[in-house]
Each structure stands twice: as structure tokens, then as C-alpha cells.
Amino acid sequence: MYCICRCVHRSLGASAASLKSLRAPFSVTATLARKPSPQWAKEGDIDQDDADPGSDRFPTRKGLKNASESPWSRNSRLRSKYLRDQDVYDQALDLAELAYADGDNNTNTWPSDQRQRQRQRMPRSAFTHHDPALAQVPNGHDPTLSFPNRNKRSRSPSRPIPLDDLFSEWLRLENIAGKAQSVGLSQSDAAKVIRAFASSIRSMPPSASSPLKPKTPVRDVPAARSTLNHLWLQFLAKYVPHDQKPLFTALCESADLRHPKEWYPGARLLRRQIIMHVGPTNSGKTHGALAELAAAPSGVYCGPLRLLAHEIHDRFTTRGIPCSLVTGEERREDPQATITACTVEMADLGREYDVAVIDEIQVIGDAQRGWAWTQALLGLRAKRIYVCGEESAVPLVKRLLEGTGDEVIVKRFERLTPLKVSPGVVKNKLAGVQPGDCVVAFSRKEVFAYKYLLEKENPGLKCAVVYGALPPETRAEQARLFNTHRESGYGVMVATDAVGMGLNLAINRVIFTTTRKYDGVSEQYLSISALKQIAGRAGRYGLDHGSAHGTVTAFRPNDLRYIHETLPLTPPDLTSAGLQPTPDMIEAFAQQLPHEPLTGLLEKFQALARLNGEMYFMCNLDDQCKLADRLKHLKHMAIRDQYLFVLAPVNTRSESALAVFVHIAEMYARDRALPLMALLLPGAARPAVGVGVGVDKALAAWREVFTDEVVQAMRPPPKSTREAKDERARHVLELVVALAQQQGEQVHAPGATLDDVRPSHAFAPARSRDQLARLEAVHRGILLYMWLANRFEGHATFAATPRAQAEWLLRECERAINLGLKVITESEQGHGVLRAMDQSQVERDRRSPAKWGVAGSRRGDRVETEEARVVIEEV
Ligand SMILES: Nc1ncnc2c1ncn2[C@@H]1O[C@H](COP(=O)(O)OP(=O)(O)OP(=O)(O)O)[C@@H](O)[C@H]1O
């Protein structure tokens, strides 16, 4: 008891007033601490992902250093990684004791990365804003129960669960311990408050209207979660230091996200007709919606990818229907157009349309991007909205629109061509791959390894490739090569799961190299939805793929078995839609905490946000927090601007991408011009500008990439005219001049003439995989620059680069990537990668044979079971 009191005392810091106000409640919880309730505090209550505390994944919040700056940050936070076992509360106390004994009471750690990952428990790579390829349902029931590593959030909404289990899950998913700490409680105090809360829930008098009934399994899980959230905030308020209560209340009000329908009064004034086109892939649901859009006097298409927005834009314009294009990075306004093709985040909610199309609605449940679909669904001002996607979204969409007065009509579609699962694996493995096949792997490395091996094994065969890091335009070009393989020779497509959305491919057979994918934490089986989406690419209706149906198969029997069992299943219904705070909300929130850096604001907003948990979840703000952490030195940059910056699509796992991001932000904060070229000089995977690159160097650098050899190798495109070349040359000159001016130099260097840079290409084509990766990074850098330039149009930082110039550079970069893909010949390294993969796969399968329901072990491709042998012989 003495220990406990000492911990509490110390953790409360030096403030006597706070101590006074907190002593009473904590003496109660300290008593409770002797009667732990392990069921409610078992493994997983607190983040378990054990990572290096010094790594970027755990940004340390150092913005405010002492109690006089902010009482919210004065208490110590211990690393929750220690708190993983059964009795979180006792351990918390022990650790607090240890920490204070070490004098380590300034450890200020906020494991938001783990928290969110635990919360969503989904493959992060499956749906990032860089590569939103395939929907993994982060909520709802996953019936692939016979397979391990299934989504841990999965549970049938109708199956009652014990209150204890629900509570444990809620603690973990909502990171309740973290939330308690974010309002100023130390970790040990937070643990005690949680226990007191648990106790109060258990002893609550039964009420007919409450979904929480002591000792009774919970039936309505979403409602129960929502009730817990609500009660928890009320409960927590009691432990907030007295002088902080008004602030706490005001912050809670600013973070109230319970009524998103009311955010869009314009849409609420309309009585909209929502027509849901649902069905499997390749069922014509988008085709039908686009036909309605084409016939409408005005309208908008909202798609999940830049690639799709471009495709729809091209489709309309080639048919003579004027169409504007709006993506985060590009804007091509046609004054004649009444139709717009855009990415869903860019949907204009201020404009009225006759018809709108929202594609791939199931992404509404995505942990990162779901908010954009929620916003489009609730906020679009269109008389008729066609909502296309999976059947799993129907119940959620209906619930979201209840009470809006909108009419919801559901039209169901069937696949236009049958999809068959092959009875056996691919005969002769790599040698058995034929033109029209799409080989699916799950990393860029594997894609190139398979490309190399397939081309080696099958002389004369060429492989097109598609993976997430490729620019959309390059993916489209690779798709074109594959679709015209009789002329181009690119008979086989090797792709990651990025192939699952947005490309019209004449695939006859999809071959899975594996059905497991690393999700950033561990290897998981593909979800039903992801499997269907990829497999469904086979047998595309209307394209000549050489068969009346599509086929799906695998190289390995285990994978084929998974496909056989999983493909007929129905994806679980989505249970909630994503929400994300708007810049206005963050700004209002920030006004109450004027000294708090953006990272802290985002963390606190998440901690205090109130949502209707029956229908909504808060989108993952991990990446935004990471980016915000990188901007914390820019103290004079307005919070709103910082927030807009951190919403930009940046690969937070790439240090060079982060460096480019920070560099642009620094230039912005100082109101300094930053021509795009300054980011792109050779060797400037990191920003080069500001380190004394002069005109001579710049010109030399340009000459380096415009070598005769490169120009010869690239050959001007057939359509290239003298004027086109001159235009390019002018761009180059302008860029050089802009760079020179930015360096405060005059342009007097010899060589600054049109002739010198004609015919010119900005980038040399990649000749190796590393060079290709560099070009891909440059491409992402250009896109980031364009994205920010669009948000901060007219600002001095971006004014130095006209949009046309940026687009030209983008196209040039894509050109170099496209050419690179044609000339790269892989080394033996590829073989090594694949062999290693193969071995580890075999090893894994051997270690866990029973999980398949396959009784037997594997040797290479042979499965030693009667059943499997039959399968193989059937081939
Ligand atoms: N009525 C039709 N006439 C001609 N082609 C059609 C028709 N309906 C669909 N298609 C073609 O069939 C293919 C699949 O259609 P669509 O893209 O609408 O399917 P989907 O169900 O939206 O599938 P996915 O989500 O995979 O794109 C497209 O190439 C489309 O052009």
C-alpha cells in the first residue's frame, strides 16, 4: 500500500493542487488494485507490438517540457511495451515503482503507431493512400475461421460475447490506457482509473435500454462499444484535475464527431436517390453507372485511384463528352465540361450535380481512407448517386443514410463471365506459365524475381509488371503492352495485388505464387475480399483473353486449397465507416491548446473524440502524427497549414520521402521559393537546393542526363515534332533560370540556349532495379510537390513552378520509368531471392501443416496426402 501511494504521489508530479484533487479518487482505485480482474486486463489490453523505443515508429513528444507549459503533459508516461501480460494493473504499479526509482519519470512516449495498428489489425500496405489496391475489411466478421492469423477483430455481429471479453477488446482497440494518459494521468494512475471503471461497469444496475448488462453476454457489440466510449469519457472527467475541467469539457465538445450527417446541410436539403450497384468484380456494375453519368446533364465520378479518374476522363473525352479531371495532384478544367472525373477525396461538395458515381464503396471501411467515402456518401449534392461496390457495404450504407430522407435502392449484379478455380496447381511450375497468365506475388522484389525467372525459363516470353510503386500511367502502359501481347510480345503479367483494382486486363488465368501477405506486422492470409478482387481479374468481360471463362490457380497445393475454400465465401458485412477530423475541427481544437504542437493535438483529438461507434470509426492518423512530428520545429507555421501538409500522401517509411516533405515544409514556412527542379537534380533523392548548387552545376547536371547516348536510346516519340521538342527545351531553360534565380544568380552560363537542350528528356531511363526505384521515388516527389502546390496555390514556395512545367516533368519521369521497365534485365540476384522465398515458404508450410486441414508434410511441391495427390494427378 505504501508503494502504491508513493507511486501515485510521485506520478502526480509536483503540483499540490492536482494532488489534492486527485487523492480521493485514487485512494479508492488503489484499494481496487488489490483485487485485479485479470479477464479484463489480459494480453492485448495495452499495445503489444514491441518495437525499438528509439525508432521512428515511436515519435517522442517533446513539444512541451514542464508543468507550467501544459498540465496535460506533466505526468510521466512509461513504455506500455512492458505491460503485456495478465495483470496490467499490478505490473503498471511495479513498473512505475521501478521507473521512479531510476529517476526515469520524464519518459514521454506515445505509442500511437502500435495503438492504431492494434486497433485496425489490418494489412497497412493493402490500402495506403499511395497504393489503395485492395480492400481489407477492418471491421466485421471474417468467416475464414478455419485459417490461422485471421483478422482478430473478426466476430459475427450476431454472436453474443461475454462482457469481460468485450471489455478487454475495447480496452485494446480503443487504446483506453493511452487515452487516459493523454489527459494527464500517469500510466499507473491510468491503470487504476481503468480498473475503477471496469468495476463500475460490472456493478451497474441492469437497464433494459442499455446494451451492457452485467453477467449477460453482449448481443449488440457496436452499440455496447459506443456506450462504453460514452461512459468512459464521463468517468474519466472525474479524474481530470479540477482546474482543467473546463478545458477538458471544451476539448471534448470540439472533438464531438457523433453527428456527421449534420456536417453537410447542403446535401440534407436534397432528397437524394442512392442507387447501389453491388456485385462481384467484372459484373458490369460500374459500366451501368457510367452510362447513366454520360447521359446526365451534369455529374461527377469519384474513384479510388488516380488511375481510374484518368481512365474515366479519357473514356469520356474520347467519346466526345467534355470532361474535367481533378485529382489531388492534377487539375484539368475543361470550360465546356459539365462532368468531372475525380479521386474521391477531391469530390466537390459545394456543387450541385444531377448524377454522381461513387466507385468501390467498400473502401469506406478502410482504416486510412475510409473517411473520403463517408464524406462523399453523406455530402455529395447530387439528385441521383450511383454507389458501386461489394455487397458487404449495403447494410452499412443503409444505416448511414437512415434519417436523411434519401431513398436507397439496391441493384444486384452477377459476374458477366464465369470464374473457375483450377482443380490442380500449375503443371511444371514456371515452365507451365502461358501467354494470358497473370502471376501474382506480394512485393516488388518478388515481381522482378518472377519476371526474371519466367523470361529465362520461357525463351521468347516477355513479362509486363504492375506493382504499387509504379506510377498509374506506367501501370496503364504495362496493361496496354499485356493486352496487346500478340503484337508487343508481353504475354505474361507479373503483378502485386495492385493489379486488383483499376486496370482492364485481358487475363485468362490468375496464378497465385502465395496466398499470404506480410501486412507490416506479420504474414496474414488474404482476406476473402482481397482474394476475390485479385482472382476476379481473370476472364474480364469484353476483352479477348482467349477463353469463355476466367481461371484461378496457384503454384502450390496449399495455396490452391485456400483459394478453393475461400473464394466461395461471402465477405463479412462492413460495420462502420471511417471519419477524419477536418482542418476546421483541428483549428478549433488547437485554439484551446495554443501551445500544443500538432502531434499532441492529433493525439489528444483522437483520445477525446466521441463517435457513434455503431456506425463510425476514427481513421488511422498514424502517418499524420509521424509527419507532424517532423514539423514540430516549424513553430511559426500555422496549425491549419501544418495539418494540410500532414494530410499529403507521403511514404512515412521512406527517409528520403520524409526529407523531401520536411524540406518543402521548411521552405513554405520561410516563404521561400522552391522550384520543383531543385528537388529533382541528379543525386537529389534528397533535396539538393539550398546547398549551393549554382547555375553551372545545374546546367552540367542537366547535360549529364541529356547525354547523346540517352537521347539516342530513348528516341523521340513518333508524335514528337520540332515544336514539341522546342517546348520541352523551353521548359528546361525555364527550370534552369528558376533555379538560378532561387540561388540568387544571374543566368549567363554558356549552353543556356535552346539548341543545347534540344532534343531533351529530363530523366535518363532506368537501367537497373535500383535506378528504377530512384525514379519511382522521384515520381512520388513530383506528385507530392504537385499535391501541395494545389493546396497552397499562389504561395511563394510553389509559384516558381508553373503547373504545366510540373506536369511535363511528371510525364518525363513516367517516360523514363516506362523505358526502364523495357530495358532492365535482371541479375542472378532475382533467382536467389526467389529460391530463398521458396525455401522459407516450404519451411513454413512444413511447420504448420495442420492449419490447412491437410494432414501431411510437404516436400517441395508435393503434398504427401491422399487427397492432395488426387488433386495433382488431375492436372
Ligand atoms: N453492357 C456492357 N456492354 C459492354 N461491355 C460491358 C458491359 N457491361 C460491362 N462491360 C465491360 O465489362 C467489364 C467489367 O465491367 P465493370 O468494370 O463495370 O465491372 P465491375 O463490376 O465494376 O467490376 P470491377 O470492380 O472489377 O471493375 C468492363 O470492361 C466493361 O467495359
pLDDT in tens, 199-214: 888 777 777 667 777 7
Q: Is any ligand 1 atom within 6 A of the Cβ of residue 551?
A: no
CA dist., res. 344 & res. 280, Å (int): 21
Q: Is any ligand 1 atom within 6 A of the Cβ of residue 283?
A: yes
Whether residue 228 sits in one domain with residue 283: no
**What one-letter code names the amino acid at 367?**
A
Look at residue 478 and tell me if it is in a domain.
Answer: yes
Whether residue 809 sits in one domain with residue 739: yes
pLDDT at 806 over 70: yes
Whether residue 396 sits in one domain with residue 299: yes
Overall average pLDDT of the 68-72 stretch? 27
The model's confidence at residue 875, banded by pLDDT at 50, 70 and 90, is very low
Q: Pick the residue whose CA is nearest to atom 22 on ligand 1.
A: 286
Element spanning 471, H or E? none
How many beta carbons lie within 10 A of that of residue 262, not counting itself?
A: 9
Look at residue 37 and tell me if it is in a domain.
Answer: no
Look at residue 283 and tell me if it is in a domain.
Answer: yes
Overall average pLDDT of the 275-287 stretch? 94
Whether residue 349 sits in one domain with residue 214: no
Q: Pick the residue whose CA is nearest to atom 14 on ligand 1.
A: 282
Q: Is any ligand 1 atom within 6 A of the Cβ of residue 188?
A: no
Look at residue 73 and tell me if it is in a domain.
Answer: no
**How many structural domains comprise the chain?**
4
Whether residue 333 sits in one domain with residue 467: no
Q: Is any ligand 1 atom within 6 A of the Cβ of residue 119?
A: no
**What one-letter code names the amino acid at 792?**
F
Quote the pLDDT of residue 627: 95
Nearest-atom number in ligand 1 for the CA of 504 is 29
Quote the pLDDT of residue 726: 56
Element spanning 174, H or E? none
For the chain, the maximum distance between any two Cα atoms, rounded to a whole number of angstroms, is: 87
Nearest-atom number in ligand 1 for the CA of 279 is 21
Is the separation of the CB atoms in 239 and 25 below 8 Å? yes
Whether residue 477 sits in one domain with residue 358: no
Nearest-atom number in ligand 1 for the CA of 280 is 21
Ligand 1 geometric centre to CA of 125 (Å): 27
Q: Which residues of 497-526 are buried (b: 16+ CB within 10 A; e: fewer)?
A: bbbbbbbbbbbbbbbbbbbbbebeeeebbb
What percent of the chain has a predicted confidence (pLDDT) above 70?
Answer: 65
Q: Which residues contact 475 (CB under 8 A, 6 or more apart)?
A: 307, 466, 498, 502, 503
Q: Is any ligand 1 atom within 6 A of the Cβ of residue 858?
A: no
| ipTM for the whole complex | 0.97
CA dist., res. 282 & res. 533, Å (int): 9
Whether residue 301 sits in one domain with residue 272: yes
- The pLDDT tens digits of the residues spanning 134-147 come to 233 233 323 233 33
The model's confidence at residue 804, banded by pLDDT at 50, 70 and 90, is confident
Look at residue 113 and tell me if it is in a domain.
Answer: no
Overall average pLDDT of the 48-68 stretch? 23
Whether residue 320 sits in one domain with residue 224: no
- The pLDDT tens digits of the residues spanning 840-850 come to 554 554 444 32
pLDDT at 629 over 50: yes
Residue where one domain finishes, among candidates 384, 412, 440: 412
Is the separation of the CB atoms in 77 and 109 below 8 Å? yes
Q: Which residues contact 777 (CB under 8 A, 6 or more apart)?
A: 654, 656, 657, 685
Q: Is any ligand 1 atom within 6 A of the Cβ of residue 281?
A: yes
Quote the pLDDT of residue 140: 32
Ligand 1 geometric centre to CA of 864 (Å): 42
Whether residue 321 sits in one domain with residue 389: yes
Whether residue 167 sits in one domain with residue 213: yes
Low-confidence winner among 1-15, 25-39, 521-535, 761-775 (lowest mean pLDDT): 25-39
Whether residue 678 sits in one domain with residue 776: yes
CATH of the domain at 507: 3.40.50.300
Q: Pick the residue whose CA is nearest to atom 7 on ligand 1.
A: 284
For 330, the domain range is: 264-412
Q: Is any ligand 1 atom within 6 A of the Cβ of residue 287?
A: yes
Whether residue 375 sits in one domain with residue 518: no
How many beta carbons lie within 10 A of that of residue 823, not counting itself?
A: 12
Cell digits for 644? 494540410
Residue where one domain finishes, among candidates 522, 540, 567: 567
Ligand 1 geometric centre to CA of 226 (Å): 39
Q: Pick the residue whose CA is nearest to atom 5 on ligand 1.
A: 542
Q: Locate cell 514528337: which residue?
A: 720
Ligand 1 geometric centre to CA of 507 (Å): 14
